[in-house]
A and B are shown apart, each in its own frame.
Chain A
Amino acid sequence: MENKKLRATPAARALAKRLGVELLSVTGTGYKGRIHKDDIANFNYEEKTHVSPLARHIAELHNIDLKGVQGSGHRNKIMKDDVLELISDPDLKARFTLDDFGIVTVPKTEQALSKPAAEVSQKVPATPAAVSQAATVVGETEKVAMTQMRKIIAKRMTESFFGIPTFIQTWEVDMTELLALRKKLMEPIQEKTGKKLTVTDLISLAVVRALLKHKYINASLNPEGTEMTFHNYVNLGMAVGLDEGLLVPVVKNADKMSLSEFVVALKDLTERTFSKKLLPDEQAGSTFTISNLGMYPVDEFTAIINQPNAAILSVASTKEKLVPVNGEAVVRPIMKISLTSDHRIIDGLTAAKFMTDLKKLLEDPITLFI
């Protein structure tokens, strides 16, 4: 069998490079397995169509389209026998064969007549080995190997957790003024940017402001822990939870942004994080990270530092509490924020000073304009 070169269109190659997708992992839907742009765009790290080289070769010879077919090999890999079985059945073969123009040679109406759709679709009968494996299990389990993404997150978390001596400070913030300010700014921001202003946006802005006055909190430490880097700018990382795992898009130069600019930037990054169109460049270079679980009724929590940052801010939910104000008990919206700091470069006093400033900005947001 020949050593075949990978077929991929220029557009596909360009997109793969941008998204950091390895071409060899992608199954192409084009002629002779050619990879097209959509194949990259639709590529999901978890769903790889596995085909053995021999099976692929045989399928190409017979102009068979293997899209969606599940094989009998490891992780549903399509093996030679699966393809041979498929093409030995003239009916099945006709339904998977494409002509030169990529059009299925057997028209759809005939397909419907010959076999019921559900049975036809994608399954190839299981081999004996697969059947026997299922028989000895008592209850239902699902074994899923860690995805590439999960593996990377796991590694980073472990390194951070075990590598950094941390301490945590939790502070309470009275959100009355901030919430009121938000109400006032909703319409103007909506008008200017077409986007909804969130509490996160305002908290972020306060954090950025405070960071500029506390260089140790906005610093980075190299992996060996021997060199500190101070930044006179703020690249704000915002942790975003997906089903597949955690991603941290970074708003670059958040210190230079107005509120409306920040709103647009963060919204755009978040959207693209969910649609998996985030560029590798946009996940790197943060100087500080915020982890916001305020949309859930969590009282407080402490996130793990996103290396090489020196600290991370955990934002919990805002809850109505009874608090004493001037000796009187009043109900106020109270939010807990926690700062996890790297004790190698940040000590208690530094952290406290930062949090004092931050609290002031959050409780008296007018001061953001000073």
Chain B
Amino acid sequence: MAKTKSKKSELTKEKMLHMHRLMLDIRNFDHKVNRLVRKGVIPGMTHFSIGEEAANVGAIGAINAGSDLITSNHRGHGQSIALEIDLNGMMAEIMGKATGTCKGKGGSMHIADLDGGNLGANGIVGGGMGMAVGAALTQKMKNTGKIVLCCFGDGACNEGTFHETLNIASIWKLPVIFYSINNLYGISTPIKDVINVDYNYQRACAYGIPGHFIEDGNDLLAVYNKFEEIVQYVRDGNGPVLVEAITYRWLGHSTSDPGKYRTKKEVDEWKQKDPIDRFKKYLLENKIATAQEIEAIEKASEDAVEESVKFALSSPEPSLESAFEDIFAD
């Protein structure tokens, strides 16, 4: 199959509203899950993407959703929702129900949607990087023209796998975008304390690949436009790319994190840079959408999330036998 050169797609109103909706979905979904965890309805570990919506949606907006592949990390809600996973299935999975995307056996850290190109969230930091490289290898060997978006955080850049996978992708010229969503903390350690360079994108030169920097990862269009560029580059067969976006998570690392390592002042400052508010303002000021249109989207998003909770609550628990299923493929 011959590779066609990809063109920069037009950023239509439809697309922009769609991305706004996805950001709202992430925000509403995670807020809801947070509340349900505190109420004791949802058990187990969950990690929230609240505050990082633009970094997620902007990037995924630039790939061919459903065709291109992504790998994710433990903070995978944002990516999964940006890839338009079924919210009902996702909420049910987080509640551990049989109707979840993984039959209740994976949970928040292993959300996946293989049919949609989502090779899964991963409980091991950097765990998805090897997989992304392998997936990209397949696309190269089979000449499919698809690319892989490998999402991870700032902490993963110090894992051995980061270095090994960037190296191997660079020598084999694999179609991978290595995307570090830098929210400035690896649980409690600030990034400044764990690397000797300013930012991780600077490490790209060690592998002879381009390193891109998105200083304001909360600016949806900045993220999107940069990614359009990168996606084109990678799809054209130029090999892998490392890109880093700066953003911030509003809540703790996970539900069990009181966040003693950050000041309230800092958190509040970042809340002022809310990506959703900023994009809403942009849409209104540039008369791309009306207030009513945006309100309608906001309501639709809230309804969809409510719907997913209802669906999940009324779904059955998985059977005991299901614990012994799906270990092997036939």
A and B directly contacting (CB within 8 A): no
Contact surface of A with B, Cβ cutoff 8 Å: none
